[in-house]
Structure formats: C-alpha cells, structure tokens
C-alpha cells in the first residue's frame, strides 16, 4: 500500500465517521433503531426479555466499515469486485442484525451500510482523481532545465 493511500484512507474514514456520529447524536439513527425494534418482533421470534441496543457495537461497526471500505475502494482494481464486496457486506450486516436480535441485542444495520457505501464511493472519487501510475507529469508541466551562465 502506498503512503498516499494510507493518508487517503484515514481522511475518507474520518470524513465518513464524523457525520454518522453527528446523525447518532442528533437522533436520526436512534429513531431508526427504535423503528427496527418495533418491526423485528413481527418478523422473527425474539427472546423473552426483548432486545436492548448496544451503542458501542454500532459505533465500532460503522467505524470499521468506513475504514475497510475506503481501503477496498482504493486498493481493489476491478469495479465489479468492489460492488460485489459492498453487496456481500450489506447482506452480512443485515444477517448480523437478525442473529444479534436472537441473542437479545438490537443492532441497527443502516448506519454501517451507509458508512460502507459512502466510504467506497469517496475512495473511488479519490482514486479517479489520482494520475495513473503515480508521479509522472504531462510534458507541458515538466520543469525546465536550469539556466547556465555564459562565462
């Protein structure tokens, strides 16, 4: 991994995580989790004690997804593989919601899926903005050789 990719991954991850944290603090994702808590008992059989939210799991999930998908977006070459990765991650996240609900934990998958897709999209934009192959400049932008004194 090139050093410039490490910095790009860090910036993309941070730029995705901060707005998601703000959405959590302003109540958007807790409202979605409350809706999901009401909908899950109609879809699956839950434990007798009900389900309880686990915020540290939510924060950890979308943080890991943001940095992982930024890395995938920058390092993986084929676009179809990136999309397949995101679709698989989205499916596994929804499956994790059901599995954790059976264990009595309310896990809201939408913030993690949003973090994954936005981070990968941001990484695609960064990768498209970088020149192919690295550091070669167009001929019109090459520095001119130093002037020599006549003497």
Q: What tens digit of pLDDT does each residue of 48-98 get?
A: 888 898 889 999 999 999 999 999 999 988 899 999 999 999 999 999 999
- Of the candidates 8, 28, 26, the one whose C-alpha atom is nearest the C-alpha of residue 70 is 8
Residue 111 lies in a domain: yes
Instruction: Note the pTM of the prediction, 2 decimals.
Output: 0.79
Query: Alpha-carbon dihedral of residues 70, 75, 77, 82, nearest 10 degrees?
Result: -30
Can you give the residue range of the structural domain that contains 72?
30-129
The pLDDT of residue 129 is: 80
Reported as a single tens digit per residue, the pLDDT across 44-61 is 888 888 889 888 999 999
Output the six-digit token pair for 83.
């999309």
Residue 145 scores a pLDDT above 80:
no
Residue 122: inside a domain, yes or no?
yes
Q: Give the model confidence (pLDDT) of 103-144 as tens digits.
A: 999 999 999 999 999 999 999 998 888 766 555 555 566 666
Q: Examine residue 104 and state whether it is found in any structural domain, yes or no.
A: yes
Q: Residue 92: inside a domain, yes or no?
A: yes
Query: How many independent structural domains does the chain possess?
Result: 1
Position 81 in a domain = yes
Is 8 inside any structural domain?
no
Helices assigned H by DSSP within 26-109: 28-43, 55-75, 79-102
- Residue 143 is assigned to a structural domain of this protein: no
């Amino acid at each position: 991994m090139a050093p410039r990719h490490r910095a790009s991954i860090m910036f993309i991850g941070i730029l995705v995580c901060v707005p998601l944290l703000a959405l959590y603090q302003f109540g958007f994702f807790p409202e979605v989790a409350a809706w999901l808590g009401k909908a899950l008992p109609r879809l699956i059989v839950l434990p007798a004690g009900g389900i309880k939210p686990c915020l540290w799991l939510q924060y950890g999930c979308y943080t890991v997804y943001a940095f992982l998908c930024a890395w995938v977006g920058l390092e993986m070459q084929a676009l179809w593989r990136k999309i397949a990765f995101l679709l698989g991650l989205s499916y596994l996240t929804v499956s994790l919601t059901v599995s954790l609900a059976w264990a009595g934990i309310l896990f809201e998958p939408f913030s993690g899926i949003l973090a994954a897709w936005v981070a990968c999209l941001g990484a695609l934009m960064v990768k498209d903005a970088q020149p192919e192959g690295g550091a070669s400049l167009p001929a019109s932008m090459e520095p001119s050789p130093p002037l020599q004194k006549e003497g």
